[in-house]
Structure 1
Amino acid sequence: AIKLVKENDDIRDEIKNSLYEILIDEYQDTSDLQEDFINLISDDNVFMVGDIKQSIYLFRNANPFLFTEKLEKYSKGEEGKRIDLTSNFRSRDEVLRDVDRIFKHLMTKEHGDVDYQDNHSLKAGNKNYDTLGKLDKDSHMDLIGYYSDKEKKKTDDEIEAFYIAQDILRRKGNDLVYDSKLGSLRPSTFKDYCILIDRSTKFESLKKILEFYSIPTIIYSDTVVEKEDIVYVLNALIRLVLYSNKDSLSKKEAQEYYHLFYVVAKSFLFEYDDNYVAKIMIKVRDENKYYTKPYEYLDGKRSYFDSIFETSYKLAKLVNKASFTYIYDEILKEFNLYKHLPKIGNVKDQLTIIERIRSFIDFASLVGDDYFTISDKITGIKDGTDFKYTADQNEDIEAVKIMTIHKSKGLEFTYCYFPYLNKRFNFDDFTKIKIGYLEESGMYCKRKTDKANVVFEVGYREAKRKQISEKIRLLYVALTRTKEKITIINNINPDKAPPAEFEFTDSLSSFGDFLNAIPNLKYDIQDVDVNKDYLSHSYKEYKYKLKKRKYNDISYFKEEIQEKRASKKVIKVLAEKEKQDIEYGNMLHAIMESVDFHNLESIESKEILNVIQDPKNIFFNDLNNSKFYQELEFIYQKEQEKVHGIIDLLIERDDIIYIVDYKASDIDNKGYDKQLKVYYDYVRSRSSKKIECYLLSLIQNRFRKVEVN
C-alpha cells in the first residue's frame, strides 16, 4: 500500500482528498509502517486516541515512541493539540487509588517510558458508585501473600489456585456489586469473577481446580490445533465412520473413503506394510476400477477386508443415535488411540490436542453444524486454515472467566484475580541476539570471536529495557480491567525484609518481583489448604482411561426423583456435566440440564428463565402439574440391536408426554427429526400416553414441533 501511494500521485491524492478526517484508535500500538502510510494519505486531519501506559504490542512491531513524541510536541503547542482524558468511568475510586500506589513507583520515564506522576493518575468518573452503588465497606485491593511449602507437598501454583477457588465461594452471593443495567446493588454471581494471567500455560490446571469446587469456568482464548499427524489421523477416523454410515458413496466420496483408510493404515495406530495395503486396495476395486464395498459375504455372513473397516462400520451404527462427542469418545476407545500415543512422543501435547478437538465438537454440535461440517472444520479442509475458534466473550454466561492479559484489553470485570505473578519473564530470545538496530545508537552486533563488545552490550541492554518497560505497561493494563476489587496473590520470601524504598534493579524479572520491590505493600499471609483429590479428575500420560458411561435399562416413568436442587447444587451439577460432556461453549444447555423447574427462584440465568416463563412454549405452561426427567439416558433393545440415547428433557403430565431436545439456534435441520424419532420410539415402548416431540432453540427462544408418527 505504501509503495502504491508513494509511486502514484493520482492515487495518493484521490485517497487524501476523499478523507475528511482520519481517526486512529489505540494509537500507542501503531507501527512505523502504519505511521508511514497515514502520513502519506493525511492532510493535517488526523485525530489520535491512545494511552502510552497501555502499549503492550511490541512483539507486533508497535512503536510507542511515535505516541510519546507527539505527546511532548503537542503539550508545547507544536504541530497539534493535546487533550487529556483523565476520568475513568469503569472503576471504583479505591481501585484507581490502588493502581496509583503501585505505578507511582514502577512506571517512570526510564522503566515504562512514561512518568506516571506527570498527570497520569486517573480520577473516578462514575458517580453511581457513590450513590446507587455505595457499599458499607471499602473496595481496596486484597494483597494475599503465602510462603512456599518447604516440604513440597503442595506447589505454589496449587496454593494460588486453591486460594482463588475458596475465595470465590466465600464471596459469591455474599458480596454486593453494582449492576449498571439494574441501577442498583445485587449479590455477586460467578460471572462477576475473572482471573487474568500473563500466559495461557496454566489455564487447564487452574480450571480443573475451580471445577473441583464445582465452580463453572470458561476459558477465553484462541484455540489452535495445528496440522499435527494426530489431527489428520483423528479426522480420518471420524470421516471413515461417517462415510461407513452412508448406504452408498459417489465416486468422489469412495475415493476419499479409501484414501482415509490408507491414512489410518499407515499411521502410528496400525503401521501396515505397503504390500498389505496394496492388496486391500486391489480387493475393493472392480474390473472397471471403481471402488466397491470393503467387505464380502462368506456363508451368508459379512466379512470385512480389514479390522479398520469392521470397526468403522460398527461405530457407524451410532451416527444417528448418539451425540458426536459420544461417537468421538467411542472412536478413541475402539481404535485404542491412547495405547499408541507413546509411539509419536509428546504424549501430554497429544492429549491436549485430543481434548481441544472434543471441546470444539461440543461447541460446534451446540451451534447446529452437521457431522461432516464439523469434521471439515477440524483441519480446515474447506477454507485452507488450521482449526481455530475463539470463545464468544459473553458477559452473561454464568461462569468464572479465565483469560490472558492481552486478551482482556478493552474489557472490564467486576472482580479480578491476579495469580502466578512469580513466573519469570522469558528473556531467552535476548541470549540469542547477535545483531540488532536501535534508533538511538544504530546497528549493533556480536561476532563469534567477540569476548567483550561495548556496542553490543549497550544495544542488548536497551532492547531488554524496552521489554521490561512493556511488562510494566502490561501489568497496568491488567489491573485497570477491574471495576470493583483487585486481588493479588504473591509468593513472599519470609527471609527477606520488605523494602524501605523502591529501587529498580536488573534482578526484577517477574511481576511478583515488581510488587515485592514496592514499599508499604502489606500482605495478608494465608496458609491455604490444598486437596490433592482434584488430581483424580485428570489424566496422566498414556495411562489415561476414558470414563465408562453407566447405562441403566430401567423404567423412568414409575417415580420422579424428588431431590430439590438449591442454587449451589444446581451449579455443582452444571460443573460436573461440564467435566464429562461439555466445555464452555454450551453453558445454556448445561444450565438447563440442572434447572429445578419447581423452584424457579434458584435459576440465576435470565435467558433460561425467559425461555421457561414464555407462554408460547406450551410444554412449560403447567410446571406445578408436571414431572421432569432431565438428561434421561436410556438403552433398549430394538429388534436386533441396542439403541442408546440421551433425552435432554422429558416432561410427563397426566395425559401427555413432551420430549424436548435443546439446540443453540438451528432447529430447522431435518436431520434432527431422525434423532427425535429414536427418542419417540423408546418412550412409546414405555408409555401409552400421547407423545409430542419438540426442538427448542435456547438462544433464539423458539421451537419446532417434530412429527414422528
Structure 2
Amino acid sequence: MIYLDLSDREERERAAATFDRNIVVTAGAGTGKTTLLVDRLVHLLLRNPSPLDIKEIVALTFTNKAATEMKVRLRERLESYPNIRLDREPGSRAEKELFRELRSLMERYHLSKAEVDRRSREALHQLERSYIGTIHSFAASLLRLYPLEAGVDPQFAEDEGPRLERQFEESWQLYLDQELSLAGARKEDWKRVLRKIRLEEVRSLAFSLCSETIQLESLKTQSREDGTAKPVALWLKKNEERAAELIQRHPGKNYKIDEFAHAALAVIREFLARGELAAGVLQEERDLLAGSSPGRVKAWSEEDFEAARDLIRVAKNLCQVDGDLARLVTALLVPFAKGLRERFLQEGWISFDGLLVRARNLLRDHLHAREELKRQFQAILVDEFQDTDPLQYEILLYLAERTGRQAGYWRQVELTPGKIFVVGDPKQSIYAFRRADIEAYLEVVQEVIQAQGGLECRLTNNFRSHAGILNVVNGVFERLIHPVEGLQPPYVAIRPPESRTDTEPRETHSLPYRKVQIRRVESEAGPLDSDRARRLEAESLARWLSEEVLGRAEILNRNGEKVLAEPKDVAILLRKLTDVHQYLEPLRRRGVRYVVEGERHFYAAQEVIDAVNLLRVVENPSDRSALVGLLRSAVGGLEDTRIYELHRAGLLDCRAVRRVGNDRKRLLSPVKELYEALLELHEEARRLPVGQAVFRIFSRIPIKLLAAISFNGEQAVANLDKVRDQAELLAREGAGTLKEIIARLEGRVLEVKEESESALAEENVDAVRILSVHKAKGLEFPIVILAGCHALIEGRGDEPSAEYDWSTELAGLRLGEYLNLPAVYLGEKRRRREREEQKRVLYVAMTRAREHLTISCAKTERGAPTSFLAMLEECLGDLSACDSPGSLQAGDGTVEFLAVTENLAVPSRRRERKKEKKEPKDWTAYADLWKRRENDYQAAIQKPVFLTPTKLKKREIELSEGSEELRRQFSGSTDALLIGDLAHGFLQRWDFRDPADTFHEKLRVFLASRLQHRPSDSRLKVASELEEIFGAFFSSAAYRELASVQILGREIPFLTPWNGQVMEGVIDLLYERDGQLYLADYKTDRIEKSDLEKSAEIYRHQIQIYSGAVQRALKREVAGFKLIFLRLGEALEVREGD
C-alpha cells in the first residue's frame, strides 16, 4: 500500500519492507495494523531476492475472526494484481491506489508484470494451506506434525473446557472415596488439612491444578525448598524499606494507623529473617492486624495513607501464610492432578492450555523438531502481540532462533534477523484475566527482540476517529498513563492523518453531535447509593437515546455523508456485564431494540428456562414444578390464580386429561390441548435420538414462535436453537439418555452456569449493541456511550486457586483463608498490574468512537476512589465544580459537560400514542410488487438448477431460425451417442507416449467388457466405426501434438455459476504447452473439413464456459481451446474472444 499524506509514512514503509532486522510495530488504536500486516505479507511474497512461498510464512492472530479477515484481505490484494492493466489509466480512486502500489512493488523489487502475476497466482493457489490462523490452531498443527515427540495422539481433539470438567467430576469423587476411606494411606494428612479448610475449597484448588499451565514439578520442588525465593525476598525488602520510611515520617503511636504500620513492619521483617511466621511469634501484632483496618487521619497525607494501606494489606496476608499446610496439600493433590492430565491425554483430548504447553515443550525439548521447523518457517508475523500468552512468546522465540543454535531457555535464544514481525499496542493490553502479561510483553520486546538489534516502528495516524475525539484522548492519557517498570509503558499519542484534518467539516456547528461529552445524571432527591444511581443512569440513557439521539442526531457515515443516527450506530460499553440487566429494562420499555454481546447468562434467559421446563415435563409428566413453570410461561399463558385452581382440582398433571370427569372438564379446557400434546411427545421422545427428540418437541409446541414475537425475538430463537445444539452435543459426548441430558441442562439453569448466548449476525441487526469494553476491542462504532463510569472498579476475588507466574516461575496457592508465601507476592503483583490495566481499559473504551463519545455517570453519595470517573477527574479536575452546561479542557481537546436531573420513579409501561387521522392506503404498489414476485417465483421454479453445455446448445438450436441443418448435425442416434462415450472413455485411458499403431489391440480389450451384452452385429458395427475414427486420429498431426505436451488432467468434472444456474460439465483434456494452458474437447461429429470454421460458432458457449471454469479454479489464463474432430484427425484452435 502507498502511504500518502501520513505523518508516519516512513515508519509504515520501513515496517513493511525491512528484512534484515526483526520488527516490533507499536500500533495505536485505529492505525490500520491489519493493513500493515497484509502489506508485510505481500512484500515477503514478492520481494527480490529470496521471495517466500506462502507456506513458509506463519501469521498468527488473536481470534479466528481476525485470521479470516487477514486471509480475505490478502486474497483480495493478490487477486487484484493480475487484473490491473498497466497500459490503461485507472478509473476509480481505489484503482489508482492499486496501480501506484503495483508500480511501486515492481520498481522496488525489479519485477515484470508477468512475474508479479505468477507469484500472486501461486500464493492464491496455496492460500488455504497457509499458516494464517490463531496461535492455538498453529500449536495444534505442530503437535500433529510431531505426535510421538509431543506424546499425543495424532488424532487428538481439542477441548474448550466441558470435557475436562466432566472428567474432573468423575475422577474427583473416585479419588476422595479412596483417600478418605478407612483404608486410605493418608487419611491423617487429610484430617489435618480439613481441620483448616473446607473440602469444597480443596476441590477448587484441585481443579486449578489440573490446568496444564501450572507446572506441577516446579510446585513440588518449590514446596520442598528451604528459604525464600529471590523475587519474593527482593519484594519483601522493598516493603520493609517503604514501611521504615513511613514510620520515620510518622514516628509516634498517636493513631491507630501508626500502630498498624509498626505491626506491618515487624511482620515483614520476620518473614525476611525466617521466611515464615512461627506459631506464637508476634502474637500481639497478629491480633492487631486481624482487626479492621484504620481510617485516614489528617496527620497523614493521602499518599502516605495509601502506602500504609498497601503495607497493612500485605502484612495481613503474610499473617495468613501457612507453608506447612501448602506443602501438605501439594503432596495430596499433585498426584491426582498429574494422573488426571495423563488420562485426559490418553483418551485423545487436549485442552487449549495444553496445546500451548505441549507445543512449547516440543520446541524446547526436541531439538531436531525445532531445527526442522525453523527451516520450514522463514517468517513469523504476530498480531495483537500485547495480548499474547507468555507461553506463546516462548513458541515464537524458539521458532525464530538462528539455524544451528539450540538454546535450552527462551531468554538465551539468539534470533534470526528479519524473521520476527510483531504488531501490538501495550496501551491496549487488557486481557490479564486470560494470562496476557504486560511485564512479559515488555521483557520479550525490550530485552530480547530490541536487545538483539530489533527495530521499533510506531504507527500514530488514526483512521477511525475525528480530531475532536483524538485530542481529548491524548489530553487525558498523556496525564493519566505514566511509565511504570514492568507494568506500564510510556504513552504514545495518536493523531488523525493530515488529509483527514483537511477534509473534516470546518463548521462544527453544522454537526454539533460530533463531540466528546460527559453526561452526569443526578437525582431530584439528591445523591444516591451505587445501585440506585445505576438504575437512575439507565433510565436517563434510555430516555435520551429514544428522545434525542435515534432518528434525530446528525453524524457522518463512512462516505462522509450526513445521516441521522440509527440504533445500529450506537454501542453502549460497560466495564463488565455483571449489571447489564439494569440497563436493558428501560430500553425495552421505550421500545429501543438492543443486542447484548458477550453476556454469560445464557442459562438465565427466560426462553432457555422455559425450554428446559418443557423438556422436563415431556420426559416426566409428573414433574409438577416444571409444569407450573411452563404454564406460567408464554407457552401456557396462565395467571397464578388459574394455576392455583388447577392445583385445587388436582389437575396439575398432564395425565389428568385422560382421566378427568365431566365435572372438571371446564377447569381443564385452557390447558387440554397443551396436556395432550405433552403426553404425545412423552411417548414419541422415548423412541427418538436426543437431537431428533428435542427438535420434535420444539416443533410440536410453538415455543420458538412465541420466542420470535418476544422483544428479543431473534436472540430468543437463536438461544432455543442453542439449547437443542447443547442437548445434541451432550448426547454425542456420551452424556446418556434424554432423561440424563435434561437433568444436566436443569442443573446448569439452577446454578446459572456461565455460558454465552447464541451469537447473532449483529452487524446486520438494526439494534443498539451492548457489550463489555473487552468485547469491543478491535471494533468501532459511530456513537459510543461508556456507561457506569461512577462504579467502583473491583479487583479479582481471592477464590481458592493455583496460579503460575511466567516471569518469576513461581506458583501461588490459595487455600481458603490461607496462602503460601508466593501467593502473597503474586497477589500484590496482580493488584498493581490490574490498577495500571484499568487505565488501558478506559483508553480502549474511548478509542472505539468514530463520531461521538458520551461518558455517562451518576452522582453518588460517595465517589468511588477507583473508577473511570475518578481517573477522568484526575486529569480534568473535580466535575462537581463545573457548571452545566459547560466545558472542560483536555490538552488540545474540549469535553462538553452536562448535568441531567432525573426522577427515579419508573415510568408507565403504557406508551402514549398520538392520535393520527387515518387516511386510506393505496395498496397498488404492494400489489404490483407481489405480482412481480409471483412471476419471478414461477420463472425460478421452472428453470432447472443445473445446466450442461449440451443442454444449453440444444436449447439455442431449438430457438434459432432456419436451423434445420444445425438440428440435424446436433441430433444423433443411440449408436452415435454410444460411439461418443466409448471414444471418450478409451482416450481417457490412453497414454499419448505409446506408439500409435498399438491402439488396435488396446481398443479390442477395451470394448470386450463394454459391449458384451450387445448383439454381435451391433458389436461389430461399433468396433468398426471406432477403428475408422481412431485410424484417422492416431495418424494425424493433432495426435502428434498431444504426444508432445504435458497432460495435466483428463475428464475433469466442474461446477460453475452461470446466469443464476449451476453449470456442470466435464473437460476432456487439460494440458500445458510452452508454459501456456490449453483445453481440448474430443468431437465424433460427422463433419466436412470445409465446415470446421462453422463448428466454432456451434460450440461457442461450450468454449466460453469451459475456459471460464478453468480460469476461476486455477487462477490462470487459458491460451486456447482445441476442438479435436477425431473422424477428420483435425484440431481447430479457438481463442476466447475470436
TM-score by length of 2: 0.36
Q: How far off is 1:183 after superposition? A: 4.3
1:212 aligns with 2:212: no
Equivalent in the alignment of 1:617: 933
Asked if 2 retains the 8 angstrom alpha-carbon contact of 1:195 and 1:401, the reply is yes
Residues in 1 aligned to 2:779 and 2:823: alpha-carbon distance in whole angstroms: 40
Asked if 1 retains the 8 angstrom alpha-carbon contact of 2:527 and 2:860, the reply is no
Q: How does 1:455-604 map to 2 (within 5 A)?
A: 460-492=827-859, 508-520=865-877, 522=888, 523-533=897-907, 563=918
> For the structure 1 residues 320 and 87, does the alpha-carbon distance in structure 2 shift closer, same or farther, using more than 3 Å as the test?
closer
Equivalent in the alignment of 1:26: 384
> For the structure 1 residues 389 and 13, does the alpha-carbon distance in structure 2 shift closer, same or farther, using more than 3 Å as the test?
farther
Q: How does 1:363-382 map to 2 (within 5 A)?
A: 363=718, 375-377=724-726, 380-382=729-731
Asked if 2 retains the 8 angstrom alpha-carbon contact of 1:53 and 1:112, the reply is no
Unpaired stretches in structure 2, ≥5 consecutive residues: 1-358, 402-415, 630-653, 682-696, 736-744, 746-754, 880-887, 889-896, 938-1059, 1061-1138
Q: What residue identity is the alignment partner of 1:51?
A: D
Q: How does 1:85-164 map to 2 (within 5 A)?
A: 85-110=459-484, 113-117=487-491, 120-125=492-497, 127-128=499-500, 130-131=502-503, 136-137=508-509, 139-147=514-522, 149-150=525-526, 155-164=532-541
Equivalent in the alignment of 1:313: 676
Residues in 1 aligned to 2:837 and 2:611: alpha-carbon distance in whole angstroms: 41
Larger radius of gyration: 2
Q: What residue identity is the alignment partner of 2:396?
A: I
Residues in 2 aligned to 1:41 and 1:188: alpha-carbon distance in whole angstroms: 49
Q: How far off is 1:143 after superposition? A: 1.2
> For the structure 1 residues 527 and 562, does the alpha-carbon distance in structure 2 shift closer, same or farther, using more than 3 Å as the test?
closer
> For the structure 1 residues 599 and 510, does the alpha-carbon distance in structure 2 shift closer, same or farther, using more than 3 Å as the test?
farther
Residues in 1 aligned to 2:862 and 2:841: alpha-carbon distance in whole angstroms: 29
Q: How does 1:303-452 map to 2 (within 5 A)?
A: 312-314=675-677, 323-325=702-704, 361-363=716-718, 375-377=724-726, 380-382=729-731, 384=733, 388-427=756-795, 429-430=797-798, 439=807
Match of 2:369 among 2, 8, 11: 11
Equivalent in the alignment of 2:574: 197
Query: Can you list the C-alpha shifts for 1:388-430, whole angstroms capped at 9, x where unaligned?
Result: 5443353342221111111101100011111112222223625
Equivalent in the alignment of 1:42: 400
Equivalent in the alignment of 2:437: 63
Q: What residue identity is the alignment partner of 1:65?
A: E
Q: What residue identity is the alignment partner of 2:703?
A: F
Of Structure 1 and Structure 2, the greater helix share is in 2
3-state SS, counterpart of residue 201 of structure 1: coil
Q: How far off is 1:16 after superposition? A: 2.2
Equivalent in the alignment of 1:53: 427
3-state SS, counterpart of residue 374 of structure 2: helix
> For the structure 1 residues 440 and 375, does the alpha-carbon distance in structure 2 shift closer, same or farther, using more than 3 Å as the test?
closer
Percent identity, please: 19
> For the structure 1 residues 164 and 599, does the alpha-carbon distance in structure 2 shift closer, same or farther, using more than 3 Å as the test?
farther
3-state SS, counterpart of residue 782 of structure 2: strand
Residues in 1 aligned to 2:438 and 2:794: alpha-carbon distance in whole angstroms: 21
Asked if 1 retains the 8 angstrom alpha-carbon contact of 2:603 and 2:609, the reply is no
Unpaired stretches in structure 1, ≥5 consecutive residues: 242-259, 271-292, 331-353, 497-506, 538-560, 566-595, 601-608, 622-701, 703-709
Residues in 2 aligned to 1:612 and 1:529: alpha-carbon distance in whole angstroms: 51
**15-24 vs 433-442, which moves further:** 433-442
| Higher relative contact order structure (alpha carbons within 8 Å, sequence separation ≥ 6) | 1
1:174 aligns with 2:533: no
3-state SS, counterpart of residue 424 of structure 2: coil
> For the structure 1 residues 212 and 389, does the alpha-carbon distance in structure 2 shift closer, same or farther, using more than 3 Å as the test?
closer
Q: How far off is 1:8 after superposition? A: 3.1
Equivalent in the alignment of 2:84: none
Asked if 1 retains the 8 angstrom alpha-carbon contact of 2:555 and 2:563, the reply is yes
Residues in 1 aligned to 2:479 and 2:876: alpha-carbon distance in whole angstroms: 9
**199-208 vs 427-436, which moves further:** 427-436
Q: What residue identity is the alignment partner of 1:313?
A: E
Residues in 2 aligned to 1:321 and 1:443: alpha-carbon distance in whole angstroms: 54
Residues in 1 aligned to 2:657 and 2:591: alpha-carbon distance in whole angstroms: 52
1:261 aligns with 2:620: yes
> For the structure 1 residues 47 and 455, does the alpha-carbon distance in structure 2 shift closer, same or farther, using more than 3 Å as the test?
closer
3-state SS, counterpart of residue 483 of structure 2: coil
3-state SS, counterpart of residue 517 of structure 1: helix
Q: What residue identity is the alignment partner of 1:324?
A: I
> For the structure 1 residues 184 and 464, does the alpha-carbon distance in structure 2 shift closer, same or farther, using more than 3 Å as the test?
same
Query: Can you list the C-alpha shifts for 1:40-64, whole angstroms capped at 9, x where unaligned?
Result: 2224312101000111111111112
3-state SS, counterpart of residue 508 of structure 2: coil
Residues in 2 aligned to 1:188 and 1:25: alpha-carbon distance in whole angstroms: 33
Q: How far off is 1:185 after superposition? A: 2.2
> For the structure 1 residues 312 and 429, does the alpha-carbon distance in structure 2 shift closer, same or farther, using more than 3 Å as the test?
same
Give aligned pairs, total: 474
Q: How far off is 1:209 after superposition? A: 0.7
Residues in 2 aligned to 1:465 and 1:172: alpha-carbon distance in whole angstroms: 41
Asked if 2 retains the 8 angstrom alpha-carbon contact of 1:376 and 1:382, the reply is no
> For the structure 1 residues 619 and 479, does the alpha-carbon distance in structure 2 shift closer, same or farther, using more than 3 Å as the test?
farther
Residues in 2 aligned to 1:86 and 1:12: alpha-carbon distance in whole angstroms: 37
Q: How far off is 1:526 after superposition? A: 1.9
Q: What residue identity is the alignment partner of 1:261?
A: N
Equivalent in the alignment of 2:131: none
Asked if 2 retains the 8 angstrom alpha-carbon contact of 1:133 and 1:178, the reply is no
Asked if 2 retains the 8 angstrom alpha-carbon contact of 1:88 and 1:126, the reply is no
Q: How far off is 1:490 after superposition? A: 2.5
Q: How far off is 1:449 after superposition? A: 11
Residues in 2 aligned to 1:164 and 1:615: alpha-carbon distance in whole angstroms: 45
> For the structure 1 residues 36 and 131, does the alpha-carbon distance in structure 2 shift closer, same or farther, using more than 3 Å as the test?
same
Residues in 2 aligned to 1:444 and 1:240: alpha-carbon distance in whole angstroms: 47
Q: How far off is 1:129 after superposition? A: 6.6
Residues in 2 aligned to 1:469 and 1:39: alpha-carbon distance in whole angstroms: 27
Equivalent in the alignment of 1:556: none
Residues in 1 aligned to 2:700 and 2:800: alpha-carbon distance in whole angstroms: 56
Asked if 1 retains the 8 angstrom alpha-carbon contact of 2:613 and 2:626, the reply is no
3-state SS, counterpart of residue 375 of structure 2: helix
**201-210 vs 103-112, which moves further:** 103-112
Q: How far off is 1:617 after superposition? A: 2.3
Query: Can you list the C-alpha shifts for 1:429-463, whole angstroms capped at 9, x where unaligned?
Result: 25979998684796789999999x99987654432
Residues in 1 aligned to 2:770 and 2:933: alpha-carbon distance in whole angstroms: 35
Asked if 1 retains the 8 angstrom alpha-carbon contact of 2:801 and 2:815, the reply is no
Equivalent in the alignment of 1:546: none
Q: What residue identity is the alignment partner of 1:470?
A: E
Query: Can you list the C-alpha shifts for 1:612-631, whole angstroms capped at 9, x where unaligned?
Result: 9798524999xxxxxxxxxx
Query: Can you list the C-alpha shifts for 1:214-260, whole angstroms capped at 9, x where unaligned?
Result: 222221225554599x979953634865xxxxxxxxxxxxxxxxxx2
